[in-house]
Structure 1
């Protein structure tokens, strides 16, 4: 299998070299990397050049500066990188972040998983962050979900789901849609991916606003949104946070903001979430 790896990078001069070095050290060698320099104002372009100058597997494109919004910006950068390549030449499409460090066997284990299991559509490892000098499991998602910084899709699965959506919640939308189409999402826990920079530090939206918008753009109906909001509030023990999330969600509804999913896909997402809710709370 040949891998196409697309890495959106915005002002990642301090992190990107760790990611690219970890790719250089992979024991699996059949890949191409496209680093999308997404309006960087630091020395990201100079970091990229050190790799494109010496290894033909590394390429880059430059985009104009755009506002940093969760989800849409990074997927837009990814899509621009994808346009530069003929995906017919690849079997695996990857979206990696510019601030991760991969085990040297990461790609070889992903390739082995896809080769041995034809129904695997999305494969990845687990995210780890540094705390007090130790690398610990990040814990922001369940251990059966491949997180956004290290997505690896079988090309057929990627095409089946219509690629990635330029919206908040894209990295959950893909998971729901591929499962509905008969593909499997698989996490290989032995592959520990080090996340250098904690996500969300450079987002401008407040947390409550983020959750409200996230639930809206994911396509959740009112009931499931209120349930999901209550779940987040239980973590923080802040009733006011619940009303802030709901307010953000209802504001999106009143403005009828455009969704990047079809009506049928929205139905699939709500059915999947409803089934999860019944299974957890009613054991149905």
Structure 2
């Protein structure tokens, strides 16, 4: 089983070496890594060169600088990396971030999971962040969801779901679509992935605007969006936050912004969200 690992990187000269070192130290060696230098203006290119010149499993491509848009930018860079390789040569396609540290047995455990479970379509570990000198669980409420920084897809599953979408919410869209196709998304909890940089720290978009845009590009209808917005507002005890999210969502709808999912896929996503809402909140 051969892995194709795509790592988009933008101004990651300090973090990228930790990621690439952790790959070189993997117990499972059959992988190819493509680092996509996405318009970096720091020393990222020098870091990449150090690995590509000394390890034939590492390749790189360089892109022009693009605007930082949550979701779409990283997937666009990922796709460029994917296009640089012949996918027929690989069995697993990974999208990894440039600021994570993998345990030495990470790829080996993922391979075993795929080998032993033919219905597994997406596999990953759990994210940990450094807090007060210790690595602690990131705290995301869904321990059964493989987060964006460490996605490993069985190639057949990846191809059937049409790959990744260049949009905000891509790392939830994938999970819903592959489930609808009969594949399973599986988290291996003992596989701890250290996240060096807190996600979203470099976003300029405001939280309420983010949620409104996220719900829109996820393809949610008004009913489910308003429920989801209310949940977020309750978390911080702010009625105005609810209205701000709704305003952002409605602005996207009025502008008829392009979605990266089909009408059928929107229906699938809404059905799944409604099922999850009933299970969690209505208890049936």
With structure 1 as the length reference, what TM-score do the two structures score? 0.99
Matched with 1:217 is 217
Hey, what's the Cα distance between the residues in 1 that align with 2:141 and 2:92?
24
Residue 139 of structure 2 aligns to a residue in which SS?
coil
Hey, what's the Cα distance between the residues in 2 that align with 1:90 and 1:141?
33
Structural mapping, 1:1-284, within 5 Å:
1-284=1-284
Hey, what's the Cα distance between the residues in 1 that align with 2:162 and 2:144?
22
Hey, what's the Cα distance between the residues in 2 that align with 1:259 and 1:265?
11
Shift of 1:18: 0.2
Hey, what's the Cα distance between the residues in 2 that align with 1:71 and 1:245?
18
Give the aligned length. Answer: 284
Shift of 1:141: 4.2
Hey, what's the Cα distance between the residues in 2 that align with 1:68 and 1:221?
26
TM-align CA RMSD: 0.5
With structure 2 as the length reference, what TM-score do the two structures score? 0.99
Residue 114 of structure 2 aligns to a residue in which SS?
helix
Hey, what's the Cα distance between the residues in 2 that align with 1:94 and 1:141?
23
Residue 54 of structure 1 aligns to a residue in which SS?
coil
Shift of 1:282: 2.0
Shift of 1:140: 2.5
Hey, what's the Cα distance between the residues in 2 that align with 1:237 and 1:130?
28
Residue 204 of structure 2 aligns to a residue in which SS?
coil
Distance change (3 Å), C-alpha of 1:226 and 1:213: same
Hey, what's the Cα distance between the residues in 2 that align with 1:163 and 1:135?
32
Residue 130 of structure 2 aligns to a residue in which SS?
strand
Hey, what's the Cα distance between the residues in 1 that align with 2:142 and 2:282?
20
Q: Deviations over 1:48-75 (max 9, x none)?
A: 0110010010000000000001000000
Hey, what's the Cα distance between the residues in 2 that align with 1:161 and 1:3?
19
Shift of 1:233: 1.1
Residue 176 of structure 1 aligns to a residue in which SS?
helix
Distance change (3 Å), C-alpha of 1:220 and 1:114: same
Hey, what's the Cα distance between the residues in 2 that align with 1:51 and 1:210?
36
Q: What are structure 2's unaligned runs of at least 5 residues? A: none
